[in-house]
Amino acid sequence: MNDPEISPSMAAQLALALPRGMGAGMLYLAVQHEFTQRLLDSQLRPVIMQAIAQHPNAGSIDNFAVLVDTDVSEELEAEAQAYEQQSAREQQHENLHTGSSGSSRAAASSLDSAESAHQERDSDAHAEAGFVPSGAASHSGAATQRNYASPPTTAPKSEESFHLNDQYRFDSFVIGQSNSFAHAAAVAVAESPAKSYNPLFIYGDSGLGKTHLLHAIGHYAMELFHGLRVRYVSSEDFTNDFINSIANNQGPQFQQRYRSVDILLVDDIQFLKGKAETQEAFFHTFNSLVGQNKQIVITSDVSPAQLKGFEDRMLSRFSSGLTTDIQVPDLETRIAILRKKCQRENIVVDPEILELIASKLNSNIRELEGSLNRVRAYASLNDQPIDLHVAQTVLKDIVSLDENEILPTDIVGVVANYFNLSVDDLYGQSRIQEIAFARQIAMYLCRDLTPLSLPKIGQLFGGRDHSTVIYAHKKITQLIAERRSVYNQVAELTSKLKHNSA
């Protein structure tokens, strides 16, 4: 296949794209203007994808995303100069060797040029904060390279000593509407510790992926920076370490353990509630790390404003960086999570079975994957294929199936009663805001809690088109992510429906 042809002006625009990092098979590029973003995303996409495929350092990258950053004018000027110098050298080479040019080769060269300038720029920026990426040359001109924050006489610790779970990485994290912002913030923190968001506070219900993101930050940051000292700790382990340090008179060792790291990952901070002395120790650890320009990432089941049993000075520090939440994944994301698990473990499961499991378990990811494990185990122990009958047999002990099915009419009745409306209001054509909002929530619940197809849900609500149901589901999903009040309403309605069907 011939290489896609691009004009010199397009090649110049391509050279202005700045690499911002890689994660989960994605290359992130930044441009200054929306025009350039649209150009790269549309006309230049085939060229960039071909260049990525041919690039020797592309690795597992299989896609790219273009972001608009209006503050990169100085960086763009440096990139443009680098590109012009590279282009001039290539032109001289092409004049001597005709027939060796191609659009995809030009795109790859421009990516090389941008990558080179980007690495040099990042090395300068990270050096100011003590960060030197893996393989980056020292700007002092010395032949040896300096490991990030690593004592000169101590070799970097193994990942096992950092208590990181090898299965929790960005490439195994399934991104959906419920967690996309938290994922993006986690990647940014790993790529620029203590420079993007410090602290990063991630909250959400149990089993939604908070711990996964913590470990993924540690793994990715250690891949980017040699000698990086990362420590993952649960609040329970932190408490036990503190108590043992007092009992064994090892206060200095405790302080050294937690205040000499470059990234501290603290899981389930809510369990420090009411533990005044442990909170005091963590307070001083927090201040010490921030004062040293070190990164802190914290998870909790609620936002800082809703944490109980903490002093105001602690809560204000938790809120001083970026706070983001993870919501319950929608049906499509739950199915994608199960598919990812099947791919990772090299097992084949019929899509209908995955959809059945995903439709019946919507509380958290642990239960979702645990149910798939039970289905697999049952089939293996009984020497049976993983079919629909096996899945139904196993799941009936975990969740309510046909005999306790949540009916669409039950959803309509409960929603109408919740909002002090009549059932006819939800079935009718009224566009009054209160009624329309309640109707959209009912459609959302029908989509997530029943096996009805989109057209059938539309027919239920006054013969509406399936596109109306899609719009309602997307809108409520977005509102759940943006407004805690809507999230609480949907959660309360879901709880009522499950309780009534039990």
Other beta carbons within 10 angstroms of residue 35's beta carbon come to: 11
Q: With contact defined as beta carbons under 8 Å apart, do 200 and 185 qualify?
A: yes
> In the predicted model, what is the mean pLDDT of residues 426-453?
88
Q: Is 389 left (phi over 0), alpha (psi -120 to 50) or beta?
A: alpha
Greatest CA separation for the chain: 81
Which 3 state secondary structure label does DSSP give 273? coil
> What is the enclosing helix (H) or strand (E) of 298?
strand 295-300
Lowest mean pLDDT among 12-26, 34-48, 237-251, 411-425: 12-26
End-to-end CA distance of the chain: 60
Contact 250, 238 (CB under 8 A): no
For 97-206, where are the alpha helices, taking DSSP H only? 103-128, 180-191
- Confidence at residue 402, expressed as pLDDT on a 0 to 100 scale: 41
Give the per-residue pLDDT at 80.
Answer: 47
User: Both tokens of residue 202?
Assistant: 């991630």
Least confident of 30-39, 155-164, 240-249, 330-339: 155-164
Q: Rounded to whole angstroms, how far apart are CA atoms 403 and 61?
A: 46
Taken in order 203, 205, 208, 211, is the CA torsion positive or negative?
positive
Average the pLDDT over each of 92-96, 352-356, 406-410 and give the range with the smallest value.
Answer: 92-96
Looking at per-residue pLDDT, the higher value among 236 and 295 belongs to 295
The Cβ-side half-sphere exposure at 442, using a 13 Å CA radius, reads 31
Q: Is the pLDDT of residue 373 over 70?
A: yes
**Residue 459: its H or E element:** helix 454-460
Residue 75: per-residue pLDDT? 55
Contact criterion met (CB below 8 Å) for 299 and 211? yes
Question: How far apart, in whole angstroms, are the C-alpha atoms of residue 217 and residue 263?
Answer: 9
**pLDDT for the residue numbered 219:** 92
Arithmetic mean of pLDDT over the chain: 76
**Helices 365-381 & 331-344, crossing angle to 10 degrees?**
50
Weakest mean pLDDT among 58-62, 253-257, 419-423: 58-62
Retrieve residue 18's tokens.
Answer: 């700045």
Name, of 35-39, 118-122, 421-425, 490-494, the range with top average pLDDT.
Answer: 421-425
Highest mean pLDDT out of 12-16, 78-82, 110-114, 454-458: 454-458
Residue 274 in this model has a pLDDT that exceeds 70 = yes
- SS3 label, residue 393: helix
| pTM above threshold 0.75 | no
Summarize the confidence of residues 413-427 as an average pLDDT.
Answer: 92
Q: In what order do the strands lie in the sheet with 26-31?
A: 18-23, 26-31, 63-68
266, 238 Cβ separation under 8 angstroms = yes
For the residues 76-87, what does the mean pLDDT come to?
Answer: 53
Tell me which of 485 and 33 has the higher pLDDT.
Answer: 485
CA distance 257 to 211: 21
- pLDDT tier at 119 (50, 70, 90 boundaries)? very low
Residues 6+ apart with CB under 8 A from 498: 400, 406
Q: What is the pLDDT of residue 280?
A: 92
Q: What is the pLDDT of residue 91?
A: 58
Query: Are 111 and 15 contacting, i.e. CB atoms less than 8 angstroms apart?
Result: no
Pairing of strands 18-23, 26-31: antiparallel
Q: Please compute the mean of the pLDDT values over residues 149-168 and round it to a whole number.
A: 52
DSSP, residue by residue, 313-330? HHHHHHTSSEEEE-PPP-
pLDDT, average across residues 13-23: 73
Q: Is the pLDDT of residue 322 over 60?
A: yes
Regarding beta strands 322-325 and 200-203, do their DSSP bridges make them parallel or antiparallel, or are they unpaired?
parallel
The DSSP annotation for 40-67 comes to: HHTTTHHHHHHHHHH-TT-TT--EEEEE
Whether 264 and 297 have beta carbons less than 8 Å apart is answered as yes
- Strand-pairing partners, residue 299, are 202
At residue 323 the predicted structure's pLDDT band, cuts being 50, 70 and 90, is: very high
Lowest-pLDDT range of 5-9, 154-158, 231-235:
154-158
pLDDT at 367 over 50: yes
**pLDDT category of residue 74 using cuts at 50, 70 and 90:** low
Alpha carbons 363 and 443: distance in angstroms, whole number: 19
